[in-house]
Amino acid sequence: MSTFIEELLNKHGVKPTPQRAVITDFLVNTCSHPTADEVFQAVSDKLPVSLSRATVYNTLNCLVEAGVLKEVVTEPGKARYDAKVSDHHHFVDVSTGKVFDIEAEQISELKLDLGDKFKVHNFHVTIFGDAKDAKSPGEEVS
């Protein structure tokens, strides 16, 4: 288990079990915003004991609750997971479905006028469009 992953989990008060470490390690090293199923596929052969789908789902929920990961919903009913927990937005390429990170500073002029009824804590923008010369997000590691 890498020290970085162990420290990351400890920092969030999560006991670094092998399955948590493997899942966190995978997500820290990808920008592809995988779904739970994609995480399951990617990590299923990384441990001596194979993980069940339920274990992967439960582990993802636990890591989201602890703040190690963020859940990103870019389409209804489909949660994706992101190890980049700082404030940022997402761009979805409509032809490939790939999800890209957009830095918070790149969207600075959003006017949130919701009146007195809603107190805004933060916001998350998902933009849909065409990504030009889209590299596979899995290839870029930020």
- Cα distances (Å, whole numbers) of residue 62 to 38, 48, 98, 139: 17, 22, 25, 27
Q: Of the listed pieces 49-57, 84-92, 103-111, 116-124, which binds Zn ion according to CB under 5 A?
A: 84-92
The alpha carbon of 13 is separated from its chain's Cα centroid by a whole number of angstroms, namely 19
Consecutive H or E run containing 57: helix 53-66
Tell me whether residue 42 or residue 51 sits nearer to Zn ion (CB atom): 42
Minimum CB distance to Zn ion, residue 1 (Å)? 24
Residue type, 73: V
Minimum CB distance to Zn ion, residue 14 (Å)? 20
Could you say whether residue 25 binds Zn ion (CB under 5 A)?
A: no
Tell me whether residue 46 or residue 84 sits nearer to Zn ion (CB atom): 84
